[in-house]
Structure 1
Amino acid sequence: MSQVISIHPVTRIEGHARIDIHLDESGQVEEARLAISALRGFEQFVIGRPAEEIPRIVTRICGICPWMHHLAAVKAVDGCFGVHPTVSGSLLRELCQILAHIHDKILHFFFLAAPDFVSGSEGDLSVRSILGLVDREPELANRVVTMRQLAQQMLARIAGKAIHPVAAVVGGFSRPMGEDDRRALLADGRVLLDFACHALEFARDRVLQRLVDEGAGLGAIATGFLGTVDNRGQLRLYDGQLRLMAADGTFVDFSAQDYERYLAEHVEPWSSAKMVYAKCWGEGFALNPDHPNGIYRVNTLARINVCDTMATPRAQAELEQFRHHFGRPAQATLLYHWARLIELVYAGERSLELLADDRIVDQAVRSPVQPVAGRGIGHVEAPRGTLIHDYSTDDNGCITRANLIVGTTHNIAPMNLSVHQAAAALIRKGVVDEEILNRVEMAVRAYDP
């Protein structure tokens, strides 16, 4: 008799999801699905609203990464009105985005992912959490909390508040940065970079090697990748062109303004979240592990796969080591964790580069704005992947159409494939236990959905 095993909720992720594993009569995995609860209402909520209000409204899409929606939206509205932000306005926006990446990466790796490796996937549920890390590594845990708080405090110093921001405005930024603030932020930024390097060393010794030795095949699939690079092929998070890489390493670069030429959206009846696939590999979509038509991945592993180099020296050195071990493109799903820490180092270095740029304290933080009819597409790299906001406005500057492709959306199809692969590899003759189910969850957790 066939049966369904449900994991509900999936734990230690930044959202809500359920895994349903369908077993056939012999107890073997027949199908496995990841269902994500996602309200797509914001594409309708914003219709008719003045476009300059949208960057403040869409921060409510996600309490973990409101800055990413804030910035993608304001870049899109810039485009609707034909506005080019000032240099200082753009630098301040990017600095806020980078700091938001830092505290998010600390949150995901240490609070959500690391317990599987520090306490072990077989560890008791009561210690397989941040509390287990506190018990085993109290000094590190204290520093983790302090560093995440520091990144948030730096954001608040620049923008007035760290959560649900209002600081980025059409044409630039709402207020300039003073020289005293810049000096204080530089000092704090050096502390964050030192922690990022320490975190990577800790993980290399205590987590990453175990990940490679024991879990590299968990949830493993072969797909393409999507991320953002500059015109030299260097990794970028705030601005640049999109690079879509096939599983064989070939790639095409294109502007976010042309995303509809390369990407298409799809909805399955059993999930409320949209799925996205690549049109340039042939029209079509298939959740088939053997022939995943058009499926690609985003987020940290994707970004370090698609870039030729990292734009900062310490991160570049780490990328070279990573590629020495795993090649390009690396496909093992759990390598997302390693890539996340390389990006943490990059973000620490990039924040210092931005603060060292004298243009960031220029008082001209906003260009003049005149609401007009138009269309604008803004994109940034959110911690969870490429984020696209696409708006159209009427003659009064009010929204007439909106389409959002959220970072996790790109990864929903590959997460389904990884869940199926993990469940099929671990479950035999219907035998399951807590460790097996947690390891299936680990395949999802790596994507940081």
Structure 2
Amino acid sequence: MFDRFETLAESPAHELALDCLAGGIDAVHPRRAVERHCALAGETLRIRNVEYDLSAHDSILVLGGGKAADELAAAFETLLGDRLDGGVVVTNERTADPTRVDVLEGEHPSPGEGSVSGARIVLDRACAADDRTLVIAAIAGGGSALLCAPASGLSVGDLRAVTDALLDAGASIDEINAVRRACSSIKGGGLAAAAAPATVVGVLVSDVVGDDPSVIASGPTVPTGVDLEAATAVLDRYDLDVPAVRARLAEPESSAPPDVDVENYVIASGRDAIDAAREVAADRGYETCVLSTRIEGEAAAAGRLHAAIGAEAADSGDPVEPPAVVLSGGETTVRVTGDGIGGPNGEFVLAAATGLPPDAVLSAVDTDGGDGSTDAAGGLVDGRTVDDPEAARAALADNDSYTFLDSKGALLRTGATGTNVNDLRVLVVP
């Protein structure tokens, strides 16, 4: 999975960290998730513990978007075979090629023209569905940018500007998506409303803390409506100058939720990745400790905290006795004040590196294979990675963790993984 694995796995601790990451990412691949949670028996499709009678439908479509949407489509094509009549999904870097479902490409993390045209095609196919259609909505993280249907009075440039401003300010995904829902006709249940009166079933791969379906891809299949006041509060919190979006949010009142009935199922999440990584560590004879699957906030601060926990474990055996593996997940953020290159996981490991105990190894990745807007998934460090602490601090101040870690051979590269759940972090204390 990892480029340069043999070079990176320079000690048993390094190798274990990489294997835990690989095990976690593999466990949340959509094909594995569909195999675990979905089954077909005759004319009965089961998703988790709910059954759907396929004989009640004249056609079955897969519609949706997100970084794992093409893999979800391919998995359902394998499961349903010729019962699947077609569909369309939008992703940013395809890793699967289903034959019955069209795969379109959009832009991420900020929307572009491909995101707009893709969303339009998805909505058109949804609008053509009738009461004898079953729509399987394949929704994954990244869908907020990849399914971009600007609300009246807004352009894709307006949505790109507000998205970039929120990302640079270090806003959380919940905050960003509150604004996105208010600026889009496909989010907040818009896709489900377009497909009515079809039966719509959302199948979700979660990249958000807490796995709230209304936050995953801004909830195309979750009829939440639009809260203009909440979206305005986010812009005010970060003092963002986005005139067109503010004008949209100044409309007289929020919209009511669409009157649609949808079942949504999260079939892969950050918790699944951590559980699989934990199993890899336990099989190697290591004690394990899961700190949390919900760690948010500034990436550098979270990294320093993990280093301190590793030092405490090595010194006192708390919160876990070595040899141990400490795991965490979540979604940290970076407030961009410099001109460098990097992402949250790069800043996380670089900030932690100077505080790690001897022989400990810390790794962190974005499970989709891209940390921020870089070609690296994250980084792998130990107590020897930083030999010039002042240079490391300067790199962090300039948001240039990518360049620093690259110079030390400490970047992790996987390419697109075909999935997208929370960040995954592994601390090995021998």
> Does 1 or 2 have the higher relative contact order (CA < 8 Å, sep 6+)?
1
TM value normalised by structure 1: 0.24
Q: Which of the two has greater helix per residue? A: 1
Normalised by the size of structure 2, how large is the TM-score? 0.25
